[in-house]
Amino acid sequence: MEKNALVLSGGGSRGGYEIGVWQALRELGVPIHIVTGTSVGALNGAMVAQDDFELAVNLWKELETHMVFDLESDGGKETGRFDFEIAGMTAGEAIAYAKEIITKGGAGTSGLEKIVEKYVSEETIRRSQIKLGVVTVEFPSLKPHYLFAEDIPQGKLQDYILASASCFPAVQAREIDGVRYIDGGYVDVMPVELALKKGADNIIAVYLEAAGFVRRDTVELAEETASKLVMIKSHWDLGNFLIFNTDNARRIIRLGYLDTMKAFGVFEGKKFTFSKGELTPHQRSGAEAAAKILKLDPTLIYKKTQLHSHMLQALSQAPKPDIRDIRSPEDARRKLSEVTLMLYIAERLAEKGASSFFASRGAFKLFKEEIMAADYLLVNELLPLKS
Protein backbone atom coordinates (compact mmCIF):
# COMPACT_ATOMS: atom_id res chain seq x y z
CA MET A 1 0.00 0.00 0.00
CA GLU A 2 1.30 3.45 -0.92
CA LYS A 3 1.82 5.89 1.92
CA ASN A 4 0.50 9.44 1.77
CA ALA A 5 2.30 12.20 3.65
CA LEU A 6 0.97 15.63 4.55
CA VAL A 7 3.80 18.16 4.94
CA LEU A 8 2.86 21.32 6.83
CA SER A 9 5.09 24.37 6.69
CA GLY A 10 5.61 26.98 9.36
CA GLY A 11 3.72 30.24 9.20
CA GLY A 12 2.33 31.22 12.60
CA SER A 13 -1.20 32.58 12.36
CA ARG A 14 -1.38 31.51 8.72
CA GLY A 15 -1.62 27.93 9.96
CA GLY A 16 -5.41 27.95 9.78
CA TYR A 17 -4.96 27.51 6.02
CA GLU A 18 -3.49 24.05 6.70
CA ILE A 19 -6.62 23.02 8.59
CA GLY A 20 -8.63 23.89 5.49
CA VAL A 21 -6.32 21.67 3.44
CA TRP A 22 -6.91 18.82 5.88
CA GLN A 23 -10.68 19.39 5.71
CA ALA A 24 -10.59 18.97 1.93
CA LEU A 25 -8.43 15.85 2.10
CA ARG A 26 -10.90 14.30 4.52
CA GLU A 27 -13.81 15.06 2.16
CA LEU A 28 -11.82 13.67 -0.76
CA GLY A 29 -11.16 10.46 1.15
CA VAL A 30 -7.37 10.85 0.95
CA PRO A 31 -5.87 8.86 3.85
CA ILE A 32 -2.88 10.33 5.68
CA HIS A 33 -0.23 7.93 6.93
CA ILE A 34 2.54 10.42 7.74
CA VAL A 35 2.36 14.07 8.79
CA THR A 36 5.43 16.26 9.19
CA GLY A 37 5.46 19.86 10.31
CA THR A 38 7.58 22.81 11.30
CA SER A 39 6.51 25.51 13.76
CA VAL A 40 2.72 25.91 13.51
CA GLY A 41 2.88 22.99 11.10
CA ALA A 42 4.08 20.86 14.03
CA LEU A 43 1.06 21.93 16.08
CA ASN A 44 -1.32 21.29 13.21
CA GLY A 45 0.47 18.03 12.53
CA ALA A 46 -0.29 16.96 16.09
CA MET A 47 -3.97 17.65 15.38
CA VAL A 48 -3.80 15.50 12.25
CA ALA A 49 -1.99 12.70 14.08
CA GLN A 50 -4.75 12.72 16.70
CA ASP A 51 -7.24 12.44 13.81
CA ASP A 52 -9.61 14.90 15.47
CA PHE A 53 -10.65 17.50 12.93
CA GLU A 54 -13.29 19.16 15.11
CA LEU A 55 -10.70 19.66 17.84
CA ALA A 56 -8.43 21.42 15.34
CA VAL A 57 -11.26 23.68 14.16
CA ASN A 58 -12.10 24.56 17.76
CA LEU A 59 -8.45 25.47 18.34
CA TRP A 60 -8.34 27.89 15.42
CA LYS A 61 -11.74 29.36 16.27
CA GLU A 62 -10.42 30.60 19.60
CA LEU A 63 -6.84 31.68 18.85
CA GLU A 64 -6.10 35.36 19.41
CA THR A 65 -2.64 36.93 19.70
CA HIS A 66 -2.95 37.63 23.43
CA MET A 67 -3.79 33.95 24.03
CA VAL A 68 -0.69 32.74 22.20
CA PHE A 69 2.11 35.16 23.12
CA ASP A 70 2.80 37.03 26.36
CA LEU A 71 2.83 40.67 25.31
CA GLU A 72 2.66 43.41 27.90
CA SER A 73 -0.36 45.66 27.47
CA ASP A 74 0.17 49.40 27.57
CA GLY A 75 -3.48 50.11 28.19
CA GLY A 76 -3.88 51.29 24.61
CA LYS A 77 -1.43 54.19 24.97
CA GLU A 78 0.85 53.20 22.10
CA THR A 79 -1.99 52.01 19.90
CA GLY A 80 -3.75 55.31 20.34
CA ARG A 81 -0.68 57.38 19.57
CA PHE A 82 -0.05 55.90 16.15
CA ASP A 83 -2.62 55.39 13.41
CA PHE A 84 -0.71 53.17 10.99
CA GLU A 85 0.35 49.58 10.43
CA ILE A 86 3.75 47.91 10.31
CA ALA A 87 3.85 44.68 8.27
CA GLY A 88 0.18 44.06 8.94
CA MET A 89 0.42 44.83 12.67
CA THR A 90 -0.98 47.86 14.41
CA ALA A 91 1.69 50.19 15.71
CA GLY A 92 0.83 49.08 19.24
CA GLU A 93 1.33 45.41 18.38
CA ALA A 94 4.64 46.09 16.64
CA ILE A 95 5.88 48.13 19.60
CA ALA A 96 4.81 45.39 22.03
CA TYR A 97 6.79 42.78 20.08
CA ALA A 98 9.80 45.08 19.87
CA LYS A 99 9.76 45.62 23.64
CA GLU A 100 9.61 41.88 24.33
CA ILE A 101 12.48 41.18 21.92
CA ILE A 102 14.69 43.90 23.40
CA THR A 103 13.94 43.38 27.09
CA LYS A 104 13.20 39.65 27.33
CA GLY A 105 14.70 38.00 24.26
CA GLY A 106 11.28 37.53 22.69
CA ALA A 107 7.67 37.16 23.78
CA GLY A 108 6.86 34.56 26.39
CA THR A 109 4.84 31.49 25.45
CA SER A 110 2.89 30.61 28.59
CA GLY A 111 -0.32 31.11 26.57
CA LEU A 112 0.90 28.79 23.83
CA GLU A 113 1.89 26.24 26.47
CA LYS A 114 -1.67 26.22 27.80
CA ILE A 115 -3.02 25.76 24.27
CA VAL A 116 -0.70 22.82 23.59
CA GLU A 117 -1.58 21.25 26.95
CA LYS A 118 -5.28 21.59 26.15
CA TYR A 119 -5.22 20.37 22.56
CA VAL A 120 -2.27 17.98 22.21
CA SER A 121 -2.51 14.51 23.73
CA GLU A 122 0.84 12.75 23.74
CA GLU A 123 -0.84 9.45 24.56
CA THR A 124 -3.20 9.72 21.58
CA ILE A 125 -0.38 10.64 19.21
CA ARG A 126 1.81 7.75 20.34
CA ARG A 127 -1.07 5.33 19.76
CA SER A 128 -1.97 6.83 16.39
CA GLN A 129 -1.44 5.04 13.09
CA ILE A 130 -0.51 8.44 11.61
CA LYS A 131 3.20 9.06 12.17
CA LEU A 132 4.03 12.58 13.39
CA GLY A 133 7.39 14.23 12.60
CA VAL A 134 8.57 17.68 13.73
CA VAL A 135 11.60 19.91 13.17
CA THR A 136 13.37 22.12 15.70
CA VAL A 137 16.81 23.71 15.99
CA GLU A 138 19.32 23.94 18.83
CA PHE A 139 20.34 27.45 19.77
CA PRO A 140 22.86 28.98 19.29
CA SER A 141 24.56 26.15 17.34
CA LEU A 142 21.64 25.91 14.85
CA LYS A 143 21.96 22.14 14.89
CA PRO A 144 18.79 20.73 13.30
CA HIS A 145 16.69 18.02 14.94
CA TYR A 146 14.35 16.00 12.72
CA LEU A 147 12.25 13.90 15.08
CA PHE A 148 9.30 11.55 14.86
CA ALA A 149 7.17 10.99 17.94
CA GLU A 150 8.87 7.67 18.62
CA ASP A 151 12.26 9.44 18.74
CA ILE A 152 11.11 11.84 21.46
CA PRO A 153 11.41 10.79 25.13
CA GLN A 154 8.17 9.97 26.92
CA GLY A 155 6.57 13.06 28.40
CA LYS A 156 8.48 15.48 26.14
CA LEU A 157 6.34 15.55 22.99
CA GLN A 158 4.54 18.76 23.90
CA ASP A 159 7.90 20.38 24.68
CA TYR A 160 9.27 19.57 21.23
CA ILE A 161 6.14 20.87 19.52
CA LEU A 162 6.57 24.11 21.49
CA ALA A 163 10.26 24.17 20.57
CA SER A 164 9.45 23.82 16.88
CA ALA A 165 7.06 26.78 17.19
CA SER A 166 9.47 29.10 19.06
CA CYS A 167 9.84 31.76 16.39
CA PHE A 168 13.00 33.37 17.77
CA PRO A 169 13.66 36.29 18.23
CA ALA A 170 9.97 37.29 18.22
CA VAL A 171 9.36 34.45 20.68
CA GLN A 172 11.67 33.17 23.41
CA ALA A 173 13.66 29.99 22.84
CA ARG A 174 12.30 26.79 24.43
CA GLU A 175 14.52 25.00 26.93
CA ILE A 176 14.37 21.20 27.13
CA ASP A 177 16.68 19.39 29.56
CA GLY A 178 19.09 22.32 29.65
CA VAL A 179 19.24 22.77 25.86
CA ARG A 180 17.64 25.78 24.15
CA TYR A 181 15.64 25.21 20.97
CA ILE A 182 14.11 27.58 18.42
CA ASP A 183 11.77 27.44 15.44
CA GLY A 184 12.49 24.65 12.97
CA GLY A 185 11.98 27.13 10.16
CA TYR A 186 15.59 28.24 10.61
CA VAL A 187 16.68 25.04 8.85
CA ASP A 188 13.62 23.56 7.12
CA VAL A 189 10.30 25.41 7.11
CA MET A 190 8.58 22.72 4.99
CA PRO A 191 9.99 19.29 6.00
CA VAL A 192 9.50 17.30 2.81
CA GLU A 193 12.64 15.21 3.33
CA LEU A 194 11.41 14.04 6.73
CA ALA A 195 8.35 12.56 5.02
CA LEU A 196 10.46 10.93 2.31
CA LYS A 197 12.72 9.30 4.87
CA LYS A 198 9.67 7.83 6.57
CA GLY A 199 8.75 6.11 3.32
CA ALA A 200 6.16 8.46 1.84
CA ASP A 201 5.13 7.64 -1.73
CA ASN A 202 2.73 10.54 -2.28
CA ILE A 203 3.34 13.95 -0.75
CA ILE A 204 0.91 16.82 -0.25
CA ALA A 205 2.99 19.82 0.84
CA VAL A 206 1.44 23.04 2.14
CA TYR A 207 3.56 26.19 1.90
CA LEU A 208 2.45 29.25 3.88
CA GLU A 209 5.10 31.59 2.45
CA ALA A 210 6.17 32.90 5.84
CA ALA A 211 9.67 33.47 7.23
CA GLY A 212 11.86 30.38 7.11
CA PHE A 213 14.33 28.42 5.00
CA VAL A 214 12.86 26.33 2.18
CA ARG A 215 14.93 23.28 1.25
CA ARG A 216 14.58 23.47 -2.53
CA ASP A 217 16.80 20.41 -2.87
CA THR A 218 14.35 18.24 -0.94
CA VAL A 219 11.41 19.54 -2.97
CA GLU A 220 13.31 18.62 -6.14
CA LEU A 221 14.11 15.22 -4.63
CA ALA A 222 10.42 14.65 -3.99
CA GLU A 223 9.60 15.67 -7.56
CA GLU A 224 12.06 13.04 -8.80
CA THR A 225 11.40 10.17 -6.39
CA ALA A 226 7.85 10.44 -5.04
CA SER A 227 5.01 8.88 -7.00
CA LYS A 228 3.15 12.18 -6.67
CA LEU A 229 3.92 15.61 -5.25
CA VAL A 230 1.08 18.10 -4.80
CA MET A 231 2.13 21.60 -3.72
CA ILE A 232 -0.59 23.75 -2.20
CA LYS A 233 -0.21 27.46 -1.45
CA SER A 234 -2.50 30.45 -1.40
CA HIS A 235 -2.79 33.07 -4.12
CA TRP A 236 -3.92 35.51 -1.42
CA ASP A 237 -2.17 37.24 1.46
CA LEU A 238 -2.87 35.12 4.55
CA GLY A 239 -1.98 37.88 7.01
CA ASN A 240 0.89 38.74 9.34
CA PHE A 241 2.17 35.47 10.78
CA LEU A 242 2.49 36.91 14.31
CA ILE A 243 -1.07 38.25 14.55
CA PHE A 244 -3.77 35.72 15.43
CA ASN A 245 -7.46 36.54 15.10
CA THR A 246 -10.48 34.34 14.64
CA ASP A 247 -12.00 36.24 11.70
CA ASN A 248 -8.87 35.75 9.60
CA ALA A 249 -8.61 32.13 10.75
CA ARG A 250 -12.09 31.37 9.40
CA ARG A 251 -11.21 33.06 6.11
CA ILE A 252 -7.96 31.21 5.55
CA ILE A 253 -9.37 27.83 6.60
CA ARG A 254 -11.86 28.31 3.78
CA LEU A 255 -9.12 29.35 1.33
CA GLY A 256 -7.08 26.26 2.21
CA TYR A 257 -10.10 24.06 1.62
CA LEU A 258 -10.88 25.60 -1.77
CA ASP A 259 -7.26 25.56 -2.98
CA THR A 260 -6.99 21.86 -2.14
CA MET A 261 -10.23 21.05 -3.92
CA LYS A 262 -8.86 22.87 -6.97
CA ALA A 263 -5.53 21.05 -6.70
CA PHE A 264 -7.42 17.75 -6.86
CA GLY A 265 -9.60 18.84 -9.79
CA VAL A 266 -12.94 19.21 -7.99
CA PHE A 267 -13.17 22.93 -8.77
CA GLU A 268 -11.33 25.26 -11.14
CA GLY A 269 -9.59 28.61 -10.85
CA LYS A 270 -6.62 30.21 -9.13
CA LYS A 271 -7.45 33.19 -6.94
CA PHE A 272 -11.16 32.46 -7.27
CA THR A 273 -13.08 29.21 -7.33
CA PHE A 274 -15.44 28.17 -10.13
CA SER A 275 -17.66 25.14 -10.52
CA LYS A 276 -16.07 22.71 -12.92
CA GLY A 277 -16.90 23.22 -16.58
CA GLU A 278 -18.56 26.62 -16.10
CA LEU A 279 -15.84 28.57 -17.93
CA THR A 280 -13.14 27.82 -20.50
CA PRO A 281 -9.51 28.47 -19.45
CA HIS A 282 -9.55 31.73 -21.45
CA GLN A 283 -12.81 32.82 -19.85
CA ARG A 284 -11.48 31.97 -16.39
CA SER A 285 -8.48 34.23 -16.92
CA GLY A 286 -10.72 37.19 -17.71
CA ALA A 287 -13.18 36.32 -14.97
CA GLU A 288 -10.37 36.09 -12.40
CA ALA A 289 -9.00 39.47 -13.45
CA ALA A 290 -12.41 41.15 -13.24
CA ALA A 291 -13.30 39.46 -9.96
CA LYS A 292 -10.05 40.60 -8.38
CA ILE A 293 -10.45 44.20 -9.52
CA LEU A 294 -14.07 44.24 -8.35
CA LYS A 295 -12.99 42.74 -5.01
CA LEU A 296 -15.33 39.78 -5.10
CA ASP A 297 -15.26 37.31 -2.23
CA PRO A 298 -12.62 34.59 -2.84
CA THR A 299 -14.22 32.25 -0.28
CA LEU A 300 -17.25 31.56 -2.49
CA ILE A 301 -17.70 28.92 -5.18
CA TYR A 302 -19.01 30.62 -8.32
CA LYS A 303 -21.20 29.34 -11.09
CA LYS A 304 -21.28 31.63 -14.11
CA THR A 305 -24.70 33.10 -13.32
CA GLN A 306 -23.75 33.75 -9.69
CA LEU A 307 -20.43 35.25 -10.76
CA HIS A 308 -22.14 37.67 -13.11
CA SER A 309 -24.69 38.61 -10.47
CA HIS A 310 -21.91 39.50 -8.01
CA MET A 311 -20.05 41.41 -10.71
CA LEU A 312 -23.13 43.44 -11.62
CA GLN A 313 -23.68 44.31 -7.98
CA ALA A 314 -20.07 45.45 -7.60
CA LEU A 315 -20.24 47.42 -10.85
CA SER A 316 -23.40 49.20 -9.71
CA GLN A 317 -21.40 50.63 -6.81
CA ALA A 318 -18.27 51.44 -8.80
CA PRO A 319 -17.50 55.11 -9.49
CA LYS A 320 -17.66 56.18 -13.13
CA PRO A 321 -14.26 57.05 -14.61
CA ASP A 322 -13.56 60.79 -14.72
CA ILE A 323 -11.57 61.12 -17.93
CA ARG A 324 -11.48 64.90 -18.20
CA ASP A 325 -7.78 65.06 -17.30
CA ILE A 326 -6.75 61.84 -19.05
CA ARG A 327 -4.45 62.68 -21.95
CA SER A 328 -2.63 59.36 -22.37
CA PRO A 329 -2.60 55.73 -21.19
CA GLU A 330 0.10 56.71 -18.69
CA ASP A 331 -2.27 59.34 -17.31
CA ALA A 332 -4.93 56.68 -16.93
CA ARG A 333 -2.59 54.39 -15.00
CA ARG A 334 -1.47 57.21 -12.73
CA LYS A 335 -4.77 58.98 -12.06
CA LEU A 336 -7.42 56.27 -12.11
CA SER A 337 -8.15 53.59 -9.53
CA GLU A 338 -7.96 49.96 -10.61
CA VAL A 339 -11.73 49.77 -11.06
CA THR A 340 -12.09 53.06 -12.94
CA LEU A 341 -9.10 52.18 -15.12
CA MET A 342 -10.80 48.91 -16.08
CA LEU A 343 -14.01 50.79 -16.92
CA TYR A 344 -12.08 53.41 -18.88
CA ILE A 345 -10.41 50.67 -20.93
CA ALA A 346 -13.77 48.99 -21.50
CA GLU A 347 -15.21 52.26 -22.81
CA ARG A 348 -12.30 52.75 -25.20
CA LEU A 349 -12.54 49.16 -26.46
CA ALA A 350 -16.30 49.44 -26.93
CA GLU A 351 -15.91 52.74 -28.78
CA LYS A 352 -12.99 51.94 -31.08
CA GLY A 353 -12.73 48.16 -31.11
CA ALA A 354 -9.62 46.77 -32.79
CA SER A 355 -8.37 50.27 -33.59
CA SER A 356 -8.21 51.17 -29.90
CA PHE A 357 -4.76 51.52 -28.33
CA PHE A 358 -5.94 49.02 -25.70
CA ALA A 359 -6.34 46.35 -28.39
CA SER A 360 -2.62 46.52 -29.17
CA ARG A 361 0.13 44.19 -27.91
CA GLY A 362 1.94 47.09 -26.34
CA ALA A 363 -1.09 48.02 -24.29
CA PHE A 364 -1.58 44.40 -23.22
CA LYS A 365 1.93 44.37 -21.75
CA LEU A 366 1.17 47.52 -19.75
CA PHE A 367 -2.43 46.82 -18.74
CA LYS A 368 -2.76 43.03 -18.94
CA GLU A 369 -5.10 42.46 -15.98
CA GLU A 370 -7.28 45.48 -16.67
CA ILE A 371 -7.65 44.63 -20.38
CA MET A 372 -8.51 40.99 -19.65
CA ALA A 373 -11.08 42.13 -17.10
CA ALA A 374 -12.58 44.76 -19.42
CA ASP A 375 -12.79 42.27 -22.27
CA TYR A 376 -14.57 39.73 -20.07
CA LEU A 377 -17.13 42.30 -18.96
CA LEU A 378 -17.73 43.45 -22.55
CA VAL A 379 -18.04 39.97 -24.06
CA ASN A 380 -20.52 38.97 -21.37
CA GLU A 381 -22.47 42.24 -21.73
CA LEU A 382 -22.06 43.19 -18.09
CA LEU A 383 -21.46 46.88 -18.78
CA PRO A 384 -24.20 49.39 -19.70
CA LEU A 385 -22.12 51.07 -22.40
CA LYS A 386 -23.55 53.24 -25.14
CA SER A 387 -23.52 51.69 -28.60
Distance CA 131, CA 338 (A): 48
Distance CA 17, CA 361 (A): 38
Question: Does residue 39 have an active-site annotation?
Answer: yes
Among 38, 17, 5, smallest CA distance to 160 is for 38
Among 57, 61, 38, smallest CA distance to 257 is for 57
Among residues 39, 164, 166, 285, the one annotated as catalytic is 39
Distance CA 384, CA 387 (A): 9
Task: Identify the helix (H) or strand (E) that includes residue 82.
Answer: none
3-state secondary structure of 229: strand
Distance CA 166, CA 184 (A): 8
Among residues 13, 121, 159, 183, the one annotated as catalytic is 183
Pair 181, 163: CB distance under 8 Å: yes
Note the residue count of the chain.
Answer: 387
Pair 109, 181: CB distance under 8 Å: no
Active site residues: 39, 183
